[in-house]
Amino acid sequence: MNKEDLFKALDYVNHSRDKRQEMSTLILNNPELIKPLLSIAFTVDNPISSKACWVLEFTAKEKLEYIFPYLDTFTANLHKVHLDPSVRPMAKICEYLTKNYFQKKDPKCIKNLTDKHLEIIASNCFDWLIGEHKVAAQAYSMTSLLLLGRKYDWIYPELRMVLEQNYSNGSAAYKARARMTLEKIK
């Protein structure tokens, strides 16, 4: 399967968990498709890119190590993602990466995820947290930043300030996650 075939196949993916899982299984069975999948995911103005992001998230959940060879590409292009259906899965992948690195202390993740990658993830998570994004992307960003704050001492003061400033205007879900995050960084 080439990039064009993958692009056509992604057109049949919808919001249903089954369709996303079906396409993710194809990727899991053919990890060489990660590179074209990332390429499609970062054609950010095309709605198919969101479907590629959904599939990438499902794939990363099962085999996070499949994206390790492409971390430079992944992190270098994160800032381009702007459609809400794409931002949420990308924020979730960042959460997977930071949890694997800081909580699970996975040696493969630690070996592949460089300081530069972590700094780019932190920057994007702050952008998603500050920007007009849905609560899920913001919640995943809070988790990633909470974990990244273990390594970078500048993160907690910035995170505290952002959460306190945005708290009053946040939804109930945002406020709940912000309270939990603030408790952990005090």
- Calculate mean pLDDT across residues 166-183: 95
- Calculate mean pLDDT across residues 63-75: 98
**How high is the pLDDT of residue 99?**
98
Report pTM: 0.96
Has residue 186 got a pLDDT over 90? no
Tokens (6 digits) for 168:
């009053």
- pLDDT band at residue 14 using 50, 70 and 90 as cut-offs: confident
- pLDDT band at residue 171 using 50, 70 and 90 as cut-offs: very high
Has residue 79 got a pLDDT over 90? yes
Q: Which amino acid is at 134?
A: K
**How high is the pLDDT of residue 83?**
94
Has residue 138 got a pLDDT over 90? yes
- Calculate mean pLDDT across residues 61-84: 97
- Calculate mean pLDDT across residues 139-151: 97
**Cα gap 180→117, rounded to integer Å:** 26
Has residue 25 got a pLDDT over 90? yes
Closest CA to 170 of 150, 142, 145: 142
**How high is the pLDDT of residue 140?**
98
**How high is the pLDDT of residue 19?**
92
Share of the chain above pLDDT 70, in %: 100
- What residues contact 104, with CB distance under 8 A and at least 6 apart? none
**How high is the pLDDT of residue 15?**
83
Tokens (6 digits) for 52:
């590629």
Tokens (6 digits) for 43:
């054609």
